[in-house]
Amino acid sequence: MATTRRGRRPGASDTRALILAAARASFAAKGFGGTTIRGVAGAAGVDAALVHHYFGSKDDLFMASLDIPVDPRSLLAPMVAEGPEGAAERFLGVFLSVWDDPEVQPSLLAVARAVMDPASQRLLSDGFLPVVILPVGQALGIDRPEHRMPLVASQVVGLILLRYVLRVEPLASMESDRLVATYAPTIQRYLTGDLP
């Protein structure tokens, strides 16, 4: 095994892994804003064009570095296309169907722990929020998405923490329909309701 590796040039999968490792380290240490494709390329010892070739934009590189088995941006696209009315209910339906999938949940848990880890606090404020959460609000066409979406995040993150990470009852065992009916009014108000 080791001989084979030494005897050939680095393959595409080695290069991808090197770039991803460099990207993860940079996003965790410098946040999304402080990370550049050029900096990641330099840390991985490759050309910036190769990073673009493998991963596309910085947004795409960030999503790839999180190693989520689903891309929340494409999952949420149909929910976003129907506009702000009833968006909270549709969002929670998609959100729970993905999180409750036993094949996907372990990877999502790993991402949630990374995003909530105080040691890499910029992953949420300076990565996940601008790349994933804010664009949902912008695509929905709600007013002040930069004010409203963090409120949505504050409820969704608490639900993830209690239901999936800490497994607090009755939330951990609650059926999906009941969770949607419980949380949709909260999230719909944060999205479109009267707020101070």
For the chain, give the number of residues: 196
The residue (of 54 and 126) whose beta carbon lies closer to a copy of itself is: 126
**Interaction pattern, residues 83-122, with a copy of itself; x per rule: CB under 8 A:** ------------------------------x--x-x--x-
Tokens standing for 77?
A: 């696209």
The position carrying tokens 């770039």 is 19
Applying CB under 8 A, which part among 11-19, 39-47, 59-67, 123-131 lies near a copy of itself?
A: 123-131
In this chain, which of 33, 56, 141, 185 binds a copy of itself, going by CB under 8 A?
185
Choosing from 26, 186, 188, 192, the residue that interacts with a copy of itself (CB under 8 A) is 186
Residue 24 or 148 having the CB closest to a copy of itself: 148
Q: How far is the CB of 87 from a copy of itself (least distance, A)?
A: 17
Torsion angle, CA of 25/28/34/40, rounded to 10 degrees? 20
Is 44 among the residues that bind a copy of itself (CB under 8 A)?
no
- Phi and psi for 56 in degrees, rounded to 5? 80, -130
Nearer to a copy of itself, 12 or 195 (CB): 195
Q: Which is nearer to a copy of itself, 47 or 146 (CB)?
A: 146
Under the binding rule (CB under 8 A), the answer on residue 171 touching a copy of itself is yes
d(CA 75, CA 80): 10
Calpha distance 192→190 (Å, rounded): 6
CA distance 17 to 21: 6
For a copy of itself, the closer CB: 54 or 107: 107
> How far is Cα 30 from Cα 133, in angstroms, rounded to an integer?
19
DSSP 4-67: HHHHS---HHHHHHHHHHHHHHHHHHHTTTT--HHHHHHHHTS-HHHHHHHH-SHHHHHHHHHT
**Residues of this chain that bind a copy of itself (CB under 8 A):** 113, 116, 118, 121, 124-125, 129, 146-147, 150-151, 153-159, 161-163, 165-171, 177-178, 181-182, 185-186, 189, 195-196
